[in-house]
């Protein structure tokens, strides 16, 4: 896609700090570096996001994810890693070419906070929702 910054990176029109590449996927350092080693894993074929991925594209991308994640963790000596994917603007997607963020974690103070609320689950509502979602899985 002509105006897609990630497609331009794939073609070599825009420089990147590449950490992995094969025929199907590419991984490079995110220019924002939320934490040291923050890496993006992308399919080479342009697709808007995970919601638009074919099974074949998903297979290729997600098959490489553990290998690239382990390399990032080892190279940065991270204690852990957040693997994040944003789909559509409401979820924080700003570049509309599918990508997965691999964000190494070094401490509780490194700029990412994930919080959970705890309450008594409504199992009846959860069962209904699960049934509704299951009907949509094709």
Active-site pick, 38, 46, 97, 99: 99
- Catalytic residue check, 99: yes
Residue 106 token pair: 């070094």
d(C-alpha 86, C-alpha 94), whole Å: 9
Residue 103 CB neighbours (<10 A): 22
Q: What is the 3-state secondary structure (H, E, C) of 78-92?
A: CCEEEEECCCCHHHC
Coil vs helix vs strand at 29: strand
User: For the chain, where are the alpha helices, taking DSSP H only?
Assistant: 5-11, 55-76, 123-136
Catalytically active residues are 99
């Amino acid at each position: 896609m002509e105006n897609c910054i990630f497609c331009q990176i794939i073609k070599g029109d825009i420089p990147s700090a590449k950490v992995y590449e094969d025929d199907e996927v590419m991984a490079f350092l995110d220019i924002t570096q939320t934490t040291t080693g923050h890496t993006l894993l992308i399919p080479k074929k342009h697709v808007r996001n995970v919601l638009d991925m074919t099974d074949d594209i998903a297979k290729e991308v997600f098959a490489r994810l553990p290998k690239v994640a382990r390399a990032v963790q080892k190279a940065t000596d991270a204690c852990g890693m957040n693997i994040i994917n944003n789909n559509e603007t409401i979820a924080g997607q700003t570049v509309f070419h599918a990508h997965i963020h691999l964000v190494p974690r070094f401490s509780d103070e490194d700029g990412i906070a994930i919080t959970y609320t705890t309450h008594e689950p409504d199992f009846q509502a959860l069962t209904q929702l699960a049934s509704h979602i299951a009907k949509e899985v094709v």
